[in-house]
Chains A and B, each alone.
Chain A
Amino acid sequence: MDNAAAVAKKKEPLVRITRRESMKTYKSVGIRLIAVLLSLIVSAFLIYSITKVNPLKVYVSMWNGAFGTARRSWVTIRDVMMLLCIAVGLAPAFKMKFWNIGAEGQILVGGIATAACMIYLKSLPPWLLFICMLASSLLAGAIWGLLPAVFKAKWNTNETLFTLMMNYVAIQLTSFFVAKWENPYGSNTVGVINQTGREGWFPSIFGQEYMLNVILVMVLTVGMFVYLKYSKQGYEIAVIGDSQNTARYAGISVRKVVIRTMLISGAICGLSGFLAVSGASHTISTSTAGGKGFTAIIVAWLAKFNTFTMIAISLLIVFLEKGAIEIASQYNLNDYVSSMITGIILFFILGSEFFINYKLIFRSREGGAR
């Protein structure tokens, strides 16, 4: 056999991949930090090769972009809270292995509901208006989450496609309301709602414009952590996420839990639409969600559904975005350069997971003979 001879001549493969048992926490955190560091070095080469600017200066301006002034810091915090809120909303769905990629749509309908309250109910007392906005945004998001869940539970439709398509429905719906609420006429935008009376805007707390955002999201973050970890319903979610058969065996109604969990997930995503409209931009457009519903999926997964870890990951991602925008404007770089840097950093962080779960074994010098 010729082939047999060929195999006989073959050497031991150069690299083999094997699974790791488990890793100490400090080690895995260390690997992730190294990944970030490496990504910064690679980005530095990229920056230098394109712009001939000192990369260190670029990094300093990235920092300034995110935390350079008190105002900038607060905007960064506001955006972190928004992203965190969505990720917290996605956590129960993904923990149940229900692929809710419809956060974009859920945010938008929550935003529409909020904007509608601001426009039509602005004569209400502020506290009542606030409650109306909160309730309607929760409800709108919940409905957007409920639809795919009901179809999944009753007819076993594919929730990935369903939630994705619901996003496009929500975008069209937003376009419709933008046209309806257009202000000033012909601008094709809604403009800032209630600019003079500030009805339905988040009030300042302790003199900070975005303090309410922080409070709301922190309450949700802690609440969701406790819900998933200690409540009966959280237990049911975890069982279904691991094995639907085991859930049936234990007498858990999979349908009921899927619907209930998606109501919660959709509602929290809807609430982040409330944050975006009432607590940040005070307007609504098709870009109100702006891809955050997808970015939040990365946040939720990287944090392995631990809502406290999500804080750190949201912060990192928002910091990168802010910094990238800053260097783009300061060094006259194209927006794409900043996307490249963000991409490189995320690539390294995701890639580091491989080294945490697996290890490589190289062929020893003597040719494998111990």
Chain B
Amino acid sequence: MEKKTAAVSLRHITKAFGTKVVANKDVTMDIESGEILALLGENGSGKTTLMNMLSGIYHPDSGQIYVRGEEVHISSPKDAYDLGIGMIHQHFKLVDVFTATENIALGMDKQKAKSNRAIAAAIREICDRYGFDVDPDQKVYNMSVSQKQTLEIVKTLYRGASILILDEPTAVLTPQETDKLFAVLRNMKADGKSIIIITHKLNEVLAISDRVSILRKGEYIDTVLTKDATVQSLTDAMVGGKVSLDIDRPEVKDKQLRLSVNHLTCLNKYGVKALDDVSFDAYGGEILGVAGISGSGQNFLLESIAGLQDTEKGSSIIYYDSETNKPEELVGLGVPEIKEKGIALSFVPEDRLGMGLVGTMGMTDNMMLKSYENGFIFADRKSPRELAYRVKDELEVVTPGISTPVRRLSGGNVQKVLVGREIASDPTVLMAAYAVRGLDINTSYTIYRLLNEQKAKGVAVIYVGEDLDVLLELCDRIAVLCAGRLNGIVDARTATKEEVGVLMTHLREEGNSDG
């Protein structure tokens, strides 16, 4: 044969959910052996659905899949494994109380079952070959996120996968960990494996991939060689038009102290310090970024301020009213008291549908969440309805109607509903956690614009983020959390990504935490 057979060929793949949502429409593409292919697209463009069809979770409505030249029907993840296709999902599928070896032994065929020692030896062999770093006897609950991810990859390789699919692998990693992952991926590529990486971080696409395939609204747009692509060209292809990629950072002159956090300490449910003696100030007219590996105490910090978290003795959170400048101690106040005292605090929590909104309710009822106490016996629905229409118009929320349950809306629209409601209450302090996670580029920029508008109005914005590039472009200052401690506050205008990355991972020595 003169023409090389592709590792995987997709031909005219179509998949619809219900009658309205077409996740993939007539997608045709190839993945070669020994290459890293980036699958790029905005949220809802059908990347994950397409890959789920390769890994046996969904079955296409029509179209054919060829693996190494032969037509196949993959109707279960086991079929996919038998074909040498392995997928590493965003949410790891590991058993916490098992060791690395036990996790890999899990779910193996009886005939292929081996002793744990044999498996451990095989794991070491794989690690040596590709440069992984896994201790076969370590329990999963003792592993960091990046170690868990490594274990998932090793597990897939151990089962004989030659085609690996990674779904947003860098979303949970620090810059240093990302570099390590990429080194391993290059080793695997050199070994002839095919790697598909789903992502929407463009600089990573450029750093790691050989070719980039772009999907938009479920349709295949194009495949380009990475060496011919730029961030701008990929964005334009992904969005289907020209997009400005600069994030605004207006300078506000008159900065007033709005929130002063002192010696804030919280325990998690196991009695371990989730936040340890954290002190900082937040000013009106600035965006204070909060960076850190996920689980470094970001949620505890915001929930303590919002009155949702018990704090330890000695903690103090002082709020200064925007009109009277009257100080108010927030520690010891619950949400009802905060509302009662008229403290203008808005909070966009990380878990949008599980905490910020009620998924089964429509926009009107969700607007009510902040104001339902008004009215005698019967809840007032008139002003929430007006607010719902206002948010829908001003933020261009796409919804069949204001009474459609919000969980049926796309992620971006859900976030617009939530942010819209929080901004509408004229906050003095606005907290937002991972406000653009999972949102497409256009919606992300809408959110940045809204945050900047609030900043310009003199609101103190606290923004917890994970994308360091964005934090450095959007924020005025960045507070870096590491293992529950405030590891330093840097000026976002001058700091580098590496500086922040080091602060995220390496706890500084005692003493000077009030930079």
In-complex Cβ contact of A245 among B12, B339, B354 (8 A): B354
B270 in contact (CB, < 8 A):
no
Q: Is the beta-carbon distance between B354 and A246 smaller than 8 angstroms? A: yes
In-complex Cβ contact of A251 among B63, B84, B336, B355 (8 A): B336
Task: Find the A residue at minimum CB distance from B59.
Answer: A16
**Contact residues in A for B365 (Cβ distance below 8 Å):** 235, 238
B147 in contact (CB, < 8 A):
no
A71 in contact (CB, < 8 A):
no
In-complex Cβ contact of A243 among B59, B73, B306, B354 (8 A): B354
A369/B62 contact (C-beta < 8 A), A243-B354, A245-B351 known = yes
Taken residue by residue from 328 to 348, chain B's Cβ proximity to chain A (1 for < 8 Å, 0 otherwise) reads as 000000111011000000010
In the complex, identify which listed stretch (B13-21, B32-40, B116-124, B443-451) lies at the interface while the others stay far away: B13-21
B493 in contact (CB, < 8 A):
no
B432 in contact (CB, < 8 A):
no
Total number of B residues with any Cβ neighbor in A under 8 Å: 52
Question: Which of B363-397 touch A at CB < 8 Å?
Answer: 365, 368-370, 372-373, 375, 377-379
B238 in contact (CB, < 8 A):
no
Q: Is the beta-carbon distance between B335 and A251 smaller than 8 angstroms? A: yes
Taken residue by residue from 1 to 45, chain A's Cβ proximity to chain B (1 for < 8 Å, 0 otherwise) reads as 101101110111100101111000000000000000000000000
Question: Which of A236-276 touch B at CB < 8 Å?
Answer: 236, 238-239, 242-243, 245-246, 248-251, 253
A4/B83 contact (C-beta < 8 A), A243-B355, A243-B358 known = yes
**Contact residues in A for B361 (Cβ distance below 8 Å):** 238-239, 242
Taken residue by residue from 184 to 201, chain B's Cβ proximity to chain A (1 for < 8 Å, 0 otherwise) reads as 000000000000000000
Q: Is the beta-carbon distance between B62 and A4 smaller than 8 angstroms? A: no
B420 in contact (CB, < 8 A):
no
Q: How far is the CA of A232 from the CA of B379 in the complex (A)?
A: 5
Q: Is the beta-carbon distance between A230 and B379 smaller than 8 angstroms? A: yes
A369/B64 contact (C-beta < 8 A), A6-B82, A239-B369, A246-B356 known = yes
Distance from B223 Cβ to chain A, minimum over Cβ atoms (Å): 23
* A-B residue pair count with CB separations less than 8 angstroms: 114
Distance from B381 Cβ to chain A, minimum over Cβ atoms (Å): 8
A4/B82 contact (C-beta < 8 A), A12-B59, A245-B354 known = yes
Task: Find the A residue at minimum CB distance from B377.
Answer: A231
Q: Is the beta-carbon distance between B349 and A249 smaller than 8 angstroms? A: yes
A154 in contact (CB, < 8 A):
no
Q: Is the beta-carbon distance between B84 and A4 smaller than 8 angstroms? A: yes
Task: Find the A residue at minimum CB distance from B336.
Answer: A251
**Contact residues in B for A250 (Cβ distance below 8 Å):** 335, 369-370, 372
Q: Is the beta-carbon distance between B355 and A245 smaller than 8 angstroms? A: yes
A290 in contact (CB, < 8 A):
no
Q: How far is the CA of A4 from the CA of B79 in the complex (A)?
A: 8
A361 in contact (CB, < 8 A):
yes
Task: Find the B residue at minimum CB distance from A370.
Answer: B62
List 24 contacting pairs A-B, 8 Å CB cutoff, sorted by A: A1-B160, A4-B67, A4-B83, A10-B72, A10-B73, A10-B75, A10-B79, A12-B73, A13-B73, A16-B59, A18-B18, A19-B17, A21-B18, A232-B373, A235-B372, A238-B361, A238-B365, A243-B353, A246-B354, A246-B355, A246-B356, A248-B355, A251-B336, A253-B336
Which 8 interchain pairs have the tightest Cβ spacing? Answer: A21-B18, A251-B335, A3-B82, A251-B336, A370-B62, A245-B355, A250-B369, A232-B379
Which residues does B use to contact A, with CB under 8 Å?
12, 17-21, 59, 61-64, 67, 70-75, 79, 82-84, 160, 306, 308, 334-336, 338-339, 347, 349, 351, 353-361, 365, 368-370, 372-373, 375, 377-379
Which residues does A use to contact B, with CB under 8 Å?
1, 3-4, 6-8, 10-13, 16, 18-21, 230-232, 234-236, 238-239, 242-243, 245-246, 248-251, 253, 361, 368-370
